[in-house]
Structure 1
Amino acid sequence: MADKTFRLEVVSPDSELYSGDATFIVAQTTVGELGILAGHSPLLAELAPGGFVKVTEASGNQTAFAVQGGFLSVTGESITVLAEAAQFASEIDVAAERAVLESAEPGSDDYLHAKSRVRAVEAVS
């Protein structure tokens, strides 16, 4: 039976946020939400502003990242999330981000960043 895991790297210009084995990811791209399992066909997609990436690790644990733009690269053996900016959902103050959503102009950078952070927290709640 084929291995059902793949190597996942989540990186931004200033750090490597995650490196490990995963069984499934969900990523919001500019053409819609994608779910990817091991052995997926090669793919390059643009990550949506205000989006998130949710990871199911090989251990079964789930984590998510707020992601502001960038790219998702899928090869036969690995997936790399090359984010313009990214943050672990566990590090986000969701109440503060919801307040920003209420006060920021829809579509502004502040709004999109807050939306991304709220979505990431909700993805693993």
Structure 2
Amino acid sequence: MDCLTVNVVTPNGLVYDHRATIVVAKTTDGEIGILPKHAPIIVPLAIDEVRVKRTDSDTHVDWIAVNGGIMEVRDDVISIIADSAERERDIDVSRAERAKQRAERMIQEAKENANTDELRRATVALHRAINRINVSKHT
């Protein structure tokens, strides 16, 4: 059986290391599905979820909240390098909800003050919080 080795690494270390039959991720240009024997590729990732269908189960899918980064595919090894990433089971939902509320307040303040830099940062923070909340619902 052909399979992929999937590694997700952050500055804090290895977040995920399993074998899979398919990996689906969202790049900055759209969604991509990777199967065994995929051609080598390096793509930038969007803030979104990564879905990994593991080889040890016909139905189990692991969900990982990835906050941008890059994905390299080479010789049936997928390496995702991200600033931060969390598996669905590791997400602190209440912390993510608080981050979402903070980001929404920051967006409102940035709009009131016409601060485009702050608005951009707050929008990214909101997207990250929503991504974590959405991934946590897959447990």
| TM-score, normalization by structure 1 | 0.82
Q: Following the alignment from structure 2 to structure 1, what is the Cα–Cα distance between the partners of residues 77 and 128?
A: 27
In the alignment, is the contact (CA less than 8 A) between 1:68 and 1:113 conserved in 2? yes
What do the CA deviations read for 1:47-74 (whole angstroms, capped 9, x no partner)?
Answer: 113x121111111222111111110001
SS at match of 1:41: coil
Pairing of 1:47-62 with structure 2 (within 5 A)? 47-49=45-47, 51-60=48-57, 61-62=60-61
The reply to whether residue 111 of structure 1 matches residue 138 of structure 2 is no
Q: Following the alignment from structure 2 to structure 1, what is the Cα–Cα distance between the partners of residues 29 and 136?
A: 22
The size of the alignment, in residue pairs, is 121
Runs of 4+ in 1 over 6 A off after TM superposition: none
SS at match of 1:59: coil
Q: Following the alignment from structure 1 to structure 2, what is the Cα–Cα distance between the partners of residues 102 and 34?
A: 31
SS at match of 1:47: strand
Letter in 2 for 1:30: T
**Equivalent position of 1:41 in the other structure:** 39
Structure with greater helix share of residues: 2
The structure number with the bigger radius of gyration is 2
What do the CA deviations read for 1:78-98 (whole angstroms, capped 9, x no partner)?
Answer: 110111111111122445534
Instruction: Name structure 2 gaps, 5 residues minimum.
Output: 108-119
Structure 1 stretch 85-94 or stretch 8-17: which is displaced more? 85-94
In the alignment, is the contact (CA less than 8 A) between 1:40 and 1:74 conserved in 2? yes
- Give the fraction of aligned pairs with identical amino acids, expressed as a percent: 30
Q: Following the alignment from structure 1 to structure 2, what is the Cα–Cα distance between the partners of residues 94 and 28?
A: 22
Instruction: Name structure 1 gaps, 5 residues minimum.
Output: none
**Equivalent position of 1:15 in the other structure:** 13
